């Protein structure tokens, strides 16, 4: 029996020549054009209560290439154009499966610039990557080595708003294997004053990356606002400066979360978090900026896929579970718990730190759900038989002090 390795994307920055940059820019534009044409065709068919699949849009692409108006589609590699049609098919599959909204058209200014190549669209030999329609290999900054003997199955080239070029290679990584099982478990309560509070009592500080660069970002945005819209080159330079500040913030935040989630997954067999609806929580305008900077959704996403890689378990407690008001020592439920209360004493005599108690309560309910096979939305009842879930409104700001 052969071992199936985890497929992992390795992302690197590269520096294209002027000819390569021009070729890739044309490819990005053609990918966007084909995606929008196919989406328009499928939307029109949908209004007639007809369905158009990938094979039909692929046939449409062949017809489009033969027209004089769209003959420029023949100048770029056909592989990224076919791949964007597959991505559109996936978007419709998710829409019909009620996992996503209806696909949207790609914007020239706002949409991500990217193109995906399969094995027929690139050549990778001796650490040198050459894309279709190009004669020279890409000048890649190999910041870390690929797994030994790795053979990319797909290559995705992209350019961010700051003008940086990236290439992502999807390969099988034999180094990603389940870690030895342990008996350790941890409850994790997210917040703003402290990014995470663990059931062990440890509090992990919130680096607040956006706040640290807020003055620099505001200055760049003011300079951009003063540029006239008709002043193309100067306005473009100012826009890139704003994008570079945003990229710096995002890169530092992502690096911090990667190190944090890797550590938690390596140290614990079971990790219990709360199923928060961040989309609704950011509607609170007083906290939206701080919540977005904390990136709770990104933290959860990293935690879940790394747990799947290394044989760990992530349990998400129900979002209505009253973790802050539930005594982790005796299980008594407090009627009210204002946000200003950071420490409180239960009738049983136990004095709690609000966030540590919430993490301990999450751990208890998570372990119960995991042992009983109750899934990722465990429920807990009070001694009187009434569901504790129904006594707590959605915790849009529970356990979160004002920044």
Taking phi first (over 0 means left), then psi (-120 to 50 degrees means alpha), and beta for anything else, what does residue 332 get? beta
Q: What are phi and psi for residue 139, nearest 5 degrees?
A: -90, 95
* Tens-level pLDDT at each residue, the chain (403 residues): 445 678 999 999 999 999 999 999 999 999 999 999 999 999 999 889 888 999 999 999 999 999 999 999 999 999 999 999 999 999 999 999 999 999 999 999 889 999 999 999 999 998 899 999 999 999 999 999 999 888 999 999 999 999 999 999 999 999 899 999 999 999 999 989 899 999 898 999 999 999 999 999 999 999 999 988 876 788 989 999 999 999 999 999 999 999 999 999 999 999 999 888 888 888 888 889 999 999 999 999 999 999 999 999 999 888 888 877 778 778 777 777 777 777 877 778 777 778 888 888 888 888 876 666 544 443 333 333 333 333 333 333 333 333 3
**Among 173, 198, 219, residue at a domain's last position:** 173
Task: Give a yes or no: residue 158 inside a domain.
Answer: yes
* 200 and 336 inside one domain: yes
* 138 and 202 inside one domain: no
**Among 150, 173, 196, residue at a domain's last position:** 173
Q: Buried b vs exposed e over 176-207: b needs ≥16 C-beta within 10 Å? A: eeeeeeeeebbbbbbbbbbbbbbbeeebbebe
* 280 and 154 inside one domain: no
Task: Give a yes or no: residue 267 inside a domain.
Answer: yes
* 161 and 265 inside one domain: no
**Among 173, 196, 215, residue at a domain's last position:** 173
**Distant-in-sequence, close-in-space partners of 223: CB < 8 Å, separation ≥ 6:** 238, 241
* 76 and 189 inside one domain: no
Cα dihedral sign, 322-327-333-338 = negative
Supply 184's token pair: 């350790």
Task: Give a yes or no: residue 225 inside a domain.
Answer: no
* 131 and 254 inside one domain: no
Task: Give residue 134's domain range.
Answer: 6-173
* 256 and 149 inside one domain: no
* 189 and 159 inside one domain: no
Nearest Cα residue to 324 out of 261, 373, 394, 277: 394
Task: Give a yes or no: residue 91 inside a domain.
Answer: yes
Q: What is the DSSP letter of 333?
A: B
Q: Quickly list H helices, 268-353.
A: 278-281, 288-294, 296-310
Q: Which residues are catalytic?
A: 189, 274, 355
Q: Please give the C-alpha separations between residue 155 and each of 117, 174, 368, in angstroms, as whole numbers.
A: 5, 19, 43
State the distance between the two ends of the chain, measured CA to CA, in whole angstroms: 54
Q: What are phi and psi for residue 198, nearest 5 degrees?
A: -95, 155
Helix or strand run (H / E) with residue 92: helix 78-96
Measured CA to CA, the distance from residue 210 to residue 252 in angstroms comes to: 10
Locate tokens 């008996």: which residue? 183
Task: Give a yes or no: residue 215 inside a domain.
Answer: no
* 159 and 15 inside one domain: yes
Q: What is the DSSP letter of 201?
A: S
* 261 and 148 inside one domain: no
* 117 and 190 inside one domain: no
* 141 and 197 inside one domain: no
3-state SS assignment for residue 368: helix
Task: Give a yes or no: residue 342 inside a domain.
Answer: yes
Neighbour-count burial of 50, counting CB atoms closer than 10 A to its CB (0-12 exposed, 13-18 middle, 19+ buried): exposed
Task: Give a yes or no: residue 305 inside a domain.
Answer: yes
Q: What is the CATH number of the domain that holds 354?
A: 3.30.420
Name the domain count of the chain: 2
Longest dimension (CA), the chain: 82
Task: Give a yes or no: residue 401 inside a domain.
Answer: no
Measured CA to CA, the distance from residue 187 to residue 196 in angstroms comes to: 10
Q: How far is CA 54 from the centre of its chain?
A: 26
């Amino acid at each position: 029996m052969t071992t199936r390795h985890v497929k992992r994307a390795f992302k690197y920055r590269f520096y294209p020549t002027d000819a390569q940059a021009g070729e890739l820019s044309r490819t990005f534009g053609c990918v966007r054009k084909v995606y929008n044409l196919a989406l328009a065709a499928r939307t029109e068919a949908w209004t007639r209560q007809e369905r158009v699949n990938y094979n039909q849009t692929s046939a449409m692409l062949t017809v489009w290439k033969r027209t004089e108006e769209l003959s420029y589609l023949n100048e770029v590699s056909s592989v990224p154009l076919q791949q964007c049609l597959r991505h559109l098919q996936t978007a419709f599959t998710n829409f019909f499966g009620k996992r996503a909204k209806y696909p949207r058209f790609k914007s020239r200014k706002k949409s991500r610039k990217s193109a995906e190549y399969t094995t027929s669209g690139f050549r990778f030999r001796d650490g040198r990557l050459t894309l279709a329609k190009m004669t020279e290999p890409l000048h890649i900054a190999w910041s870390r080595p690929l797994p030994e003997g790795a053979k990319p199955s797909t290559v995705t080239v992209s350019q961010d708003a700051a003008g940086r070029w990236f290439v992502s290679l999807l390969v099988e990584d034999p180094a990603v294997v389940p870690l030895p099982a342990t008996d350790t478990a941890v409850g994790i309560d997210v917040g703003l004053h402290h990014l995470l509070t663990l059931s062990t009592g440890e509090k992990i500080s919130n680096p607040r990356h956006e706040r640290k660069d807020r003055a620099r970002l505001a200055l760049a945005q003011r300079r951009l606002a003063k540029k006239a819209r008709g002043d193309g080159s100067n306005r473009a330079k100012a826009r890139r400066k704003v994008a570079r500040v945003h990229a710096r913030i995002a890169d530092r935040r992502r690096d911090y979360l990667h190190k944090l989630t890797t550590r938690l997954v390596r140290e614990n067999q079971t990790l219990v978090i709360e199923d928060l609806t961040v989309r609704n929580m950011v509607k609170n305008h007083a906290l939206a900026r701080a919540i977005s900077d904390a990136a709770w959704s990104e933290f959860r996403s990293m935690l879940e896929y790394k747990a799947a890689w290394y044989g760990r378990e992530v349990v998400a407690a129900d979002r209505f579970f009253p973790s802050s008001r539930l005594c982790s020592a005796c299980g008594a439920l407090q009627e009210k718990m204002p946000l200003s209360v950071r420490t409180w004493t239960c009738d049983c005599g136990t004095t709690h730190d609000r966030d540590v108690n919430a993490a301990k309560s999450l751990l208890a309910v998570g372990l119960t759900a995991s042992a009983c096979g109750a899934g990722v939305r465990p429920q807990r009842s009070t001694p009187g038989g009434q569901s504790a879930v129904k006594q707590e409104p959605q915790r849009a700001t529970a356990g979160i002090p004002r920044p």
